[in-house]
Amino acid sequence: MASKISSTSSGPVAKSLLGVRFLTVSAIAGALLAGMALPFVGGFGLGAKAAADSFDSLPDDFKAPPLSQASSIYDSAGNLIATSYDRDRTVVPGDQIAPVMRKALVDIEDNRFFQHGAIDPKGIIRALGKNSAAGGTAQGASTLTQQYVKNVFVDEAGNDTAAVLEAQRQTMGRKIQEMRYAIDVEQTLTKDQILTNYLNITFFGEQAYGIEAASERYFSVHAKDLSLPQAAMLAGMVQSPTSFDPIVHMAAATDKRNTVLKKMAQYGSITQAEADQAIATPVTLQVSRPQQGCITAKQGEGFFCDYVKYAVLQDPVFGANAADRKALWNRGGLKITTTLDPKAQDALDKGLADNADASDKPAAVMSMVQPGTGKILAMGQSRPYGLGTNQTQINLNAPKSMGGGLGFPTGSTFKPIVAAAALEGGFTPSQTYTTNSTINWPKMTDCNGGVHKSVPSVRNDSSASPVTYSMPDALAQSINTYFASLEGDVGLCATAQMANKLGIQTQADGTPLQVVQSMTLGINDLTPLTMAGVYATFASHGTYCAPRAITSMTGPDGKNLPVPAQSCSKVLTDTTADTITAMLKGVVQDGGTASNVSLGGRPIAGKTGTTDKGTQVWFVGYTPDVAGATVVSDTADQKPLQGQMFGGSRIDQAFGAQVAGPVWQAAMKGEVTGTPVTDFPDVSLPAPPAQPAPSGSPSAPPTP
């Protein structure tokens, strides 16, 4: 379909002559009376003059937007994830539409279509006479070209109900507009092109737009394979898709089909014998219900599919403003190739299913990201994508702006960010603090100069006796008091700036980060996707890459469209990143809070996190090749996890290693199986510091 229909070089002259001399006195006045049965106010002459003035004041060019049609989303291996569309339409060329369909539509809608111009004077006079005799609107006078113009405005209105109603209003102004632009269309396109465009744009009911979608919806055949009875039925639906819907109103649809067949015989498109045979043929429907959208995606891929849609609607590369991006998505016809790794997605889905049930109140949520590229390899939730019981369409892996939720406090998984700020600020892993189980928060100053006074209190589950920790020990055992002291010396502003460098700009709901003393304990609400991106930075030796989902896209014409470029920047030195990794390896080794988490001897690093009262638990970990973040939370009631059922067992201890760790482990095992084993850089860490003389009380277990 042409994107722009405008006058030829001789067009303005032709339009002036035809518009003023003929349409003003005949077509406009006659059509308004015949098609709308509107009374003339102040006499025919006044109505004709007003019509002529309106006609001449319209813009010269009629712009027809590309027709909306289905878009397809594929994973990185080329497998279809889902088909999504604003309107179920597949545009087909004229030679892919059965000739009998073309004839049927013309004979029932505008049998003189190939003989008259944009306006049909004979049709207007005929309608004028019939409507006058009937005392109302018995017959319209719009040509098929005029109907096509109206359909363009309706299609352009999209899902805006008010705009659709405005495009359909039968007013003098609308009729004049249709006539004017019908002239433009016929000066630019051939009759065959107009007919093809009409068949591609018109609505056939049951969410089917265009003849290809309608053929598949009602008969499960392509438009080129329609039989005579099938074509006649579809042609009969154009006037009123609801009234003549054969699924709902079979008798009325059949009667209308037979009327079309009689008209085709009357006008010589088929023989009377062919018409009689078709009329005697029972209507046989083979309905294919619409299957589209992320809800039809393969199990587990629905959330990623939804993320892709939001990426198109949000990223400026797809349009300078929200309206342009929405128009691109609604217009459709896109083929979108994504970063989703089917192996990783299958592994993640299995890890979730093996450890959690959809009916559990706590939900498990996980994202996987590729270090060094930012490619989102997989994302999923234990509560499936959908509208049914124990389902949801809120993508808890993503922030609110991307169709997600409000995020989760990250607990101690934030501590490596404080450690990174310390190392970048000149501190070393041998930095020690001798601390009791409870200390006051140190005085700190934020980036705006705000002073946060020393206040009570931060606690750690250790003995009252002073214990000395270095940075590796403090990370391995997740010592809250150590990181409160470290944050105080590094600076609250430096900590916030490090979070920004690692991709944490706001909380998941879009509100500013809470830059306060307890920031080190993970009070900000973030998403698994964000945290996977942070830890992927450690795995890639300090290069942060913004998570991305789309690698290529083509438009309806098959041409490549711009997509977001890989956005990576060096935010940590190799030494800092690799030292963080070396320290996080201690978390999964003996003495660490996640010593139960492993990948069968494959090198891993990670961090546990448990929020206040055990309401959320995390495990964020990585190999040199993939980073994954898992959180488990009671998303419905926000109650502590301890005592709740999860995956068929009751949660006895709501710690990251015991609840989120097994989900992460199962998913990551499936992803790395069969891949080469690579190792992290070898970094020497200081030996544990000597402890002060004991006070007679043994140390308590570390805080996960």
Query: Is the pLDDT assigned to residue 54 strictly greater than 50?
Result: no
> Are residues 271 and 259 in contact, defined by beta-carbon separation less than 8 angstroms?
no
* Average of per-residue pLDDT across 691-704: 50
Q: How far apart are CA 73 and CA 305, in angstroms?
A: 7
Cβ–Cβ contacts within 10 Å for residue 343, how many?
18
Tokens coding 20: 């003023």
Tokens coding 150: 């109206």
* Confidence class for position 387, pLDDT limits 50, 70, 90: confident
* Confidence class for position 297, pLDDT limits 50, 70, 90: confident
Question: Which H, E and C letters describe 128-180, residue by residue?
Answer: HHHHHHHCCCCCCCCCHHHHHHHHHHHHHHCCCHHHHHHHHCCCHHHHHHHHH
Domain boundaries, the chain: 11-280
Query: Is the pLDDT assigned to residue 341 strictly greater than 70?
Result: yes
Tokens coding 575: 């030494």
* Confidence class for position 155, pLDDT limits 50, 70, 90: confident
Query: Is the pLDDT assigned to residue 511 strictly greater than 90?
Result: yes
pLDDT at 386: 84
* Average of per-residue pLDDT across 279-307: 87
* Average of per-residue pLDDT across 626-650: 92
How does DSSP classify residue 72? E
Among 287-291, 320-324, 364-368, 633-637, the range with the most confident prediction by mean pLDDT is 364-368
* Average of per-residue pLDDT across 119-138: 54
**Which residue would you say has higher pLDDT here, 57 or 492?**
492
pLDDT at 152: 84
* Confidence class for position 699, pLDDT limits 50, 70, 90: very low
Beta pairing, strands 335-338 & 71-74: parallel
| Burial class, 468, CB count within 10 angstroms (exposed 0-12 / middle 13-18 / buried 19+) | middle
Q: What is the pLDDT of residues 645-674, one digit of tens each?
A: 999 999 998 998 999 999 999 999 999 999
Query: Is the pLDDT assigned to residue 702 strictly greater than 90?
Result: no
* Confidence class for position 696, pLDDT limits 50, 70, 90: very low
pTM for this predicted structure = 0.76
Torsions phi, psi for 609 (to 5 deg): -155, 135
Tokens coding 361: 């109140």
Query: Is the pLDDT assigned to residue 627 strictly greater than 60?
Result: yes
H/E segment holding residue 473: helix 471-477
Ranges of H-type helices in 158-240: 161-168, 172-188, 191-201, 211-219, 228-237
In this structure, of 339-348, 428-437, 464-473, 494-503, the range with the lowest mean pLDDT score is 464-473
Find all residues with CB under 8 Å of 309, minimum gap 6, and list them: 84, 294, 329, 403
Region at 562 (left for phi over 0; alpha for psi -120 to 50; beta for the rest): beta
In this structure, of 44-48, 481-485, 497-501, the range with the lowest mean pLDDT score is 44-48
Task: Output helix, strand, coil percentages for the chain, rounded to the nearest 5.
Answer: 45, 15, 40
Query: Is the pLDDT assigned to residue 503 strictly greater than 90?
Result: yes
Query: Is the pLDDT assigned to residue 68 strictly greater than 80?
Result: no
In this structure, of 215-229, 264-278, 294-308, the range with the lowest mean pLDDT score is 294-308
**Which residue would you say has higher pLDDT here, 332 or 620?**
620
In this structure, of 43-47, 213-217, 411-415, 430-434, the range with the lowest mean pLDDT score is 43-47
Q: What is the CATH number of domain 11-280?
A: 1.10.3810.10
Torsions phi, psi for 408 (to 5 deg): -140, 140
* Confidence class for position 410, pLDDT limits 50, 70, 90: very high
Q: What is the pLDDT of residues 158-200, one digit of tens each?
A: 656 666 666 666 666 667 777 878 888 888 889 999 999 999 9
pLDDT at 150: 84
Nearest to 310 by CA among 564, 636, 22: 564
Query: Is the pLDDT assigned to residue 57 strictly greater than 60?
Result: no
* Confidence class for position 687, pLDDT limits 50, 70, 90: confident
**Which residue would you say has higher pLDDT here, 13 or 358?**
358
* Average of per-residue pLDDT across 344-348: 96
DSSP string, 527-570: -HHHHHHHHHHHHTTTEEE--B-EEEEE-TTS-B---PPP-EEE
pLDDT at 436: 85
Q: What angle do CA 281, 285, 286 make, to 5 degrees?
A: 135
